[in-house]
Structure 1
Amino acid sequence: MKPTEIPLGQAPTFAAETIPTPTYGPGGSSTAIFSTTIAAPPATCLAVILDTSTYPSWGKWIPCAVVETPAPASALDEVPAALAAQLPADRSGLLLLGAKFYFEVHMDPDSASSRKTYLEVTRLEEFVRDEGGKEKKKKKGIRVAWKTQGDPWHVRAERVQEFVEDGKGGCEYYNYETFHGMLAWAVRRFVAGQLGNGLQLWMEGLKKEAEARAAAAASSNAPSAAA
């Protein structure tokens, strides 16, 4: 399956076929997918995700993200200008290329219990989404990807999130995460429901936060009424 085959408006589910990811390529046991529309530019959406200090305000599933090893200084050169303009001056808590971090994941969002997932940012880049077809549509976008640290043999995964311009000032948001390893099959069999619920919360929280930021920016840039 290709990323462009994820339907727009897809609720969190497992795809019929796995989707290749940047680090691991094709293969794997399963791929979790979802997609939605967001009334905010791609850079605004990605700025929310990259700044770990914002997670408590919108991340009910993952209310805490901690950068243990900040990205190298050279990573700043890879950040698109539109995105860099929306990031805080302090880069130590940002999920830039090469940063190593962990999420405190609440598989039961209503419980105080959590588990840490250790990850590393593997991609942060602009791209062009070729949707093919007779019209051969091509849309600009920005993507971020991260993978489990250390590539453990039992379960390893890489998650890709793409924000594609919709031509109306907003974006289409596509997410896919492919699981590999000897025990990767257990993710789909035993925690599919909890994972789906968590991804739904992530999607809803991000959408709400990004749209609020976009609305605030539009309001502040609106011309003042004549006296």
Structure 2
Amino acid sequence: MKYPETATDPAAVTSSLVSPIAVPTHGAGGTFSVLAKVHISAAPLAVLNAVRDTSTWKTWNTFCPSCTFGPAKQVSNAAANHQDLPLGKENWLEPGSACQITYSMVGDASKSSGQQGIEVTVLRPLTVEVDGKDGFTIAWISTGRKHWQLHSERIMEFVDDGEGGCSYACWETFGGLLATAVKSVVGGQLRDRFGDYAKDVKGFVERKGNGS
């Protein structure tokens, strides 16, 4: 794994500010990362699909309840030839998707804190070398600022646990001149909201799997 392991109950959500974790586009380095993890009683693809299908966000996503799509960029990506990762579905995130997401920093989807531009950089199967377990990963970069000012990339991994569920991990690594100020001013809120996101997607897919 690329991210730190913690000796906690896997069914419980953990969320913390940690040293920078490498990301696909910006590489190693940066100022800090936000990391959230939880076990979800659903297949990796089901959890990934919940994240990709932005039309469902308003029903479960208290951190980022809505997403508006702009013109997509053409991105060469392994998803293009994978049967479990269909492309061209309306309101679904895919490589090159350029969007504006509405976010709430107070844990209440009805209270918007603003909008953030994102661009999807990765969507592909994930082969985990530990025990040969498989899964999927998706990532996106933030847009709207110059790289030297502030940049970030968010990665989510959904790893098959071999028993019908998956390990979910999400981290976002921040860098640039303003990253230290971001950590100081809203680091605690980011930690809490990433924890909410993990809890929200877990609840959504597990309820859906139970038919509720």
Pick the TM interval, shorter chain: 0.7 to 0.9
Q: 2:71 maps to which residue?
A: 69
AA in 2 matched with 1:207: K
More helix by share: 1
TM-score by length of 1: 0.82
Q: Deviations over 1:87-121 (max 9, x none)?
A: 9xx72311100100011111123462321110000
Q: Residues 77 and 196 from structure 1, CA distance in 2 versus in 1: closer, same or farther, beyond 3 angstroms?
A: closer
Instruction: Tell me the C-alpha RMSD between the 2 structures.
Output: 2.4
| Match 1:139 to one of 129, 133, 144 | 133
Comparing 29-38 with 186-195, which one deviates more in the overlay? Answer: 186-195
SS in 2 for 1:154: coil
> What is the CA–CA distance in structure 1 between the aligned matches of 2:145 and 2:26, rounded to whole Å?
10
> What is the CA–CA distance in structure 2 between the aligned matches of 1:192 and 1:10, rounded to whole Å?
17
Q: 1:123 maps to which residue?
A: 122
AA in 2 matched with 1:145: A
> What is the CA–CA distance in structure 1 between the aligned matches of 2:81 and 2:57, rounded to whole Å?
20
User: How far did residue 189 of structure 1 move?
Assistant: 1.1
| Match 2:150 to one of 155, 179, 198 | 155
> What is the CA–CA distance in structure 2 between the aligned matches of 1:27 and 1:64, rounded to whole Å?
30
User: How far did residue 171 of structure 1 move?
Assistant: 0.3
Q: Deviations over 1:112-151 (max 9, x none)?
A: 23211100000000021123xxxxx231110000001256
> What is the CA–CA distance in structure 2 between the aligned matches of 1:75 and 1:91, rounded to whole Å?
16
Alpha-carbon contact 1:33-1:177 (below 8 Å) kept: yes
Runs of 4+ more than 6 Å apart:
73-76
Gaps of 5+ in 2: none
Q: 2:16 maps to which residue?
A: 13
> What is the CA–CA distance in structure 1 between the aligned matches of 2:116 and 2:161, rounded to whole Å?
32
User: How far did residue 65 of structure 1 move?
Assistant: 1.2
Alpha-carbon contact 1:70-1:94 (below 8 Å) kept: no
User: How far did residue 70 of structure 1 move?
Assistant: 3.8
Alpha-carbon contact 2:77-2:124 (below 8 Å) kept: no
Q: 1:112 maps to which residue?
A: 111
Alpha-carbon contact 1:41-1:165 (below 8 Å) kept: yes
SS in 2 for 1:164: strand
Q: 2:36 maps to which residue?
A: 34
TM-score by length of 2: 0.87
> What is the CA–CA distance in structure 1 between the aligned matches of 2:182 and 2:142, rounded to whole Å?
14
Q: Deviations over 1:31-78 (max 9, x none)?
A: 111110000001100101111110100011211111112465987962
Mapping for residues 124-203 of structure 1, pairs under 5 Å: 124-131=123-130, 137-149=131-143, 152=146, 153-203=148-198
> What is the CA–CA distance in structure 2 between the aligned matches of 1:140 and 1:77, rounded to whole Å?
15
Alpha-carbon contact 1:67-1:94 (below 8 Å) kept: no
Alpha-carbon contact 2:79-2:123 (below 8 Å) kept: no
